[in-house]
Amino acid sequence: MIDSILDKMTLEEQVSLLSGADFWTTVAVERLGVPKIKVTDGPNGARGAGSLVAGVKATCFPVAIALGASWNPDLVKQMGVALARQAKSKGAAVLLAPTVNIHRSGLNGRNFECYSEDPMLTAELAVAYIEGVQGEGIAATIKHFAGNESEIERQTMSSDIDERTLREIYLPPFEQAVRRAGVMAVMSSYNRLNGTYTSEHHWLLTKVLREEWGFDGIVMSDWFGSHSTAETINAGLDLEMPGPARDRGEKLVAAVREGKVEAATVRTAARRMLRLLERVGAFKSKPDLTERAIDLPEDRALIRRLGAEGAVLLKNDGILPLAKPSLDRIAVIGPNADSARVMGGGSAQIAAHYTVSPLEGIRAALSNANSISHAVGCRHNRLIDVFKGKIAVEYFKGRGCKGDPLHIETVDKGEFFWFELPSEELDPADFSARMKMHFTPEESGEHAFGMTNAGLARLFVDGRLTVDGREGWTRGENYFGTANDEQRGAVPLEAGRSYEITVEYEPSMASEEGINLIAVRFGVEKPLGEADIESAVETARNAEVALLFVGRDGEWDTEGLDLPDMRLPGRQKELIEKVAAANPNTIVVLQTGGPIEMPWLGKVRAVLQMWYPGQELGNAVADVLFGDAEPGGRLSQTFPKALTDNSAITGDPAVYPGQDGHVRYAEGVFVGYRHHDTRAVGPLFPFGFGLSYTRFRWSEPQLSATEMSSEGVTVRVDLTNIGDRPGSELVQLYVSSPRAKVERPNKELRAFAKLSLQPGETGTATLKITPRDLAYFDIETGAFLAESGTYQLIVAANATDVRSIIDLPSPSNYLLPTSY
């Protein structure tokens, strides 16, 4: 059928398939019955075509690092199935997920959106995720291919990575997604790889992806991430996104006419696009692009379970789990206590059906809600608190908010990120909007107003210009680098008095790099000070237990910028230390998208890392704190003692964050625990670490063979739960190699198994390795090489907790081509 359609297509029609129609859909060719299909952002929810911050409600699942900490591919596959169902509810046939870039520095703004520092763990989870999604007829899109481990100058930066490091660390998750999961789509990254944009990198997109790995799906650009016509199509980029066409369309037709692109190359790319439509069933029934909100009880239960499964208990001197009946006075404190920090920022954002804050979850879990006291203590927000309340919005044709409004609507949040305007008569490049609202402060005193805008905007309080986002506008770090840094103004306000706030907005005339976004965000807050910290301390002093909810949020952990350091922002360190001094029973609950430094660790009794676990956050954290669920997580990323212990943080800006448009991956394969182990840099918490509420007995490992063969070797370890509670244990199998021609890490993860056992129950962890698991990438031969010699199989509970070491002879050399 596909060839028949292609034979009837003109060159122009074939070319039309190779660019989006708009931000989220492909081009239809109605003459030949070729429908359009919709794509939607993941990876922790299916948003649909709406705004990043509004639109049709969607189910919010845990972020990827929380899934990585679960070490549970089966549960991740179930989430993939649920996400496919959510994608269908948004009329989408393609989910733009999973993200499988590696945790290199710990400062990547999208660290939360990636699974792990280890390629093997990342690959296992990605394969499970893709199988879940695609098993339901929705295409998954693995991203970002490749070398996108930082958000700094991401649209132009060259990630300079040697081939061995690429093959061993950064490419395996993509390779396994192709070979094992049959992923239908790959998204190229923004950055350059060794000097060439990945969207026009022939070696990456054609030689490696298609010829070596056998990929037969489509390659799409990241949004506005393609920069040429002939170069991209000749390299193997099929789909330019978003639409309408920028470097395709008439330019590509002309390139064919001029002989810069073969007509057969266009036909091949068009065939791949048609094959994608066929695979998602678009030819069998015309896709319904209608968007609906479905909030299912089974999804709620899965999210709650995933939240506990990925929760990592980092410290516990016996205070956890808390016994509900014995708690008369409990203090719930911190900037994340009464706010539901359920997701990171950027394109992963969705408008969740609902969110449950930790304070709400704890109140629901305890029968005596009066025993709970609450204090904020301090703030950690990077941006002023967004305005929440009734906002009347008027849209006008042209600039300056002149004449009668073309459209009027009412919203409840002071953040607008328009992919589509509310009327087709409004031109995204030539419109204006006026937002009006009223604010009545609860306390008198100076209040801070803040605004950031991709476009031009001004904020007035009772008619007085308070924040100017127009004069002197310059690009900053917000909205993927298309908006200014937040501008602020201070105004003294009286408690109980109503103030009128007006914001006037219009788009910019032009933007750099072809990225045109229209967005504005504004808010107001009364700054917190010393009295608020002292109030939190007093609240803690009068309680039996102090629960401190600290960390970051989606303003810090976000696409578009990296973190400045690994410290808790704001005055949170001070808050922790003062609360711990006032109450010896202090428990810290962390929400971050990656590692942080913990100078206060010795002053608290327990630390629980909850990440951003989706809309059931409060219920999941209450489940773990009160022992209704096991803290099932184990770290998928090493937590260093200090930022400078990370292998990418050398003090050389060329290594991180980059210099003169290049970032050099000088650490090579020594990423994460590979660095800490081999260079003897002790971590704060090692890769794979996590405590349980129960205890396990490990048997000695049993091997299926006494030496390596082409069939591989299976290792079995019996575990028995010798505690009085159900729980889970993680068995990790590392390989340590004999001396080789190149320096190799002390050990590398090659298999794992997670067992959930009832008290007294015994289970068997089964782990298999093959010659490829012994190998490194040999530059001279261009293949994976496992040299003969005696290897060590290291059975461990985490990267520093080794339980058994077994010698495994490998009598033969194994040379494994990349295209085997």
CA atoms within 13 A on the CB side of 65: 30
CATH superfamily of 9-279: Glycoside hydrolase, family 3, N-terminal domain (3.20.20.300)
The CATH number, out of the four listed (2.60.120.10, 1.10.10.10, 3.30.70.100, 2.60.40.10), of the domain defined by the range 694-817: 2.60.40.10
Catalytic residue (choose from 160, 222, 645, 677): 222
Q: What is the pLDDT of residue 49?
A: 85
**pLDDT for position 311:** 98
Q: Give the residue carrying structure tokens 């009286």.
A: 494
Residue identified by tokens 């061995």 is: 164
| Token pair belonging to 713 | 């070797």
Amino acid at 315: K
Q: What's the pTM value of the predicted model, to 2 decimals?
A: 0.95
Confidence of residue 209 (pLDDT cuts 50, 70, 90): very high
The C-alpha atoms of residue 621 and residue 523 are separated, in whole angstroms, by 29
pLDDT, tens digit (0-9, with 9 covering 90-100), for 18-39: 999 999 999 999 999 999 999 9
The whole-number average pLDDT for the span 56-69 is: 97
CATH architecture of 388-525: Sandwich (2.60)
Q: What element of type H or E holds 178?
A: helix 172-179
Residue boundaries of the structural domains of the chain: 9-279, 297-379+529-563+572-628, 388-525, 694-817
Does residue 660 carry a catalytic annotation?
no
Q: Can you tell me the mean pLDDT for 295-311?
A: 98
Quick one: tokens of 288?
């319904």
Opening angle at CA 176, ends 188 and 119, nearest 5: 85
Q: How many Å apart are CA 9 and CA 88, to the nearest integer?
A: 29
Judge whether 297-379+529-563+572-628 and 388-525 match in fold: no
Band of residue 305 on the pLDDT scale cut at 50, 70, 90: very high
Say which residues have a Cβ less than 8 Å from residue 762's Cβ, sequence separation at least 6: 718, 719, 720, 721
Mean pLDDT of 563-572: 97
Instruction: Residue 84: count other Cβ atoms within 10 Å of its Cβ.
Output: 22
Residues written for the chain: 820
Q: What is the dihedral of CA 126, 128, 129, 135, to 10 degrees?
A: 130
Q: Where are the alpha helices (DSSP H) in 71-149?
A: 73-89, 119-134
φ and ψ at 763, to 5 degrees?
Answer: -135, 165
- E-strand ranges in 161-305 read 185-188, 192-193, 196-197, 218-220
Q: What is the distance between the alpha carbons of residues 333 and 550, in angstroms, rounded to a whole number?
A: 8
Q: Is the pLDDT of residue 50 over 80?
A: no
Contacts of 425 (CB under 8 A, 6+ apart): 397, 406
Give dist(CA 384, CA 108) in Å, integer.
Answer: 22
d(CA 58, CA 52): 11
Separation of alpha carbons 404 and 324, rounded Å: 60
Q: In CATH, what class is 297-379+529-563+572-628?
A: alpha beta
Please state which of the ranges 118-122, 480-484, 491-495, 616-620 shows the lowest mean pLDDT.
480-484
DSSP secondary structure, 584-603, as one string = SSEEEEEE-SS----TTGGG
How far lies 503's CA from each of 433, 437, 638, 788, in Å? 8, 9, 44, 70
- CA 661 vs CA 156, 479, 657: distances in Å: 7, 21, 10
Quick one: pLDDT at residue 531? 95
Count the neighbouring beta carbons within 10 Å of the beta carbon of residue 664. Answer: 19
Amino acid at 444: S
State how far the Cα of 785 lies from the Cα of 815, in Å rounded to an integer. 5
Whether the pLDDT of residue 514 is over 60: the answer is no
What are the tokens at 405?
A: 């409004």
**Chain segment 363-415, per-residue pLDDT in tens:** 999 987 679 999 999 999 999 999 999 999 999 999 999 999 999 999 999 99
CA distance 671 to 646: 8
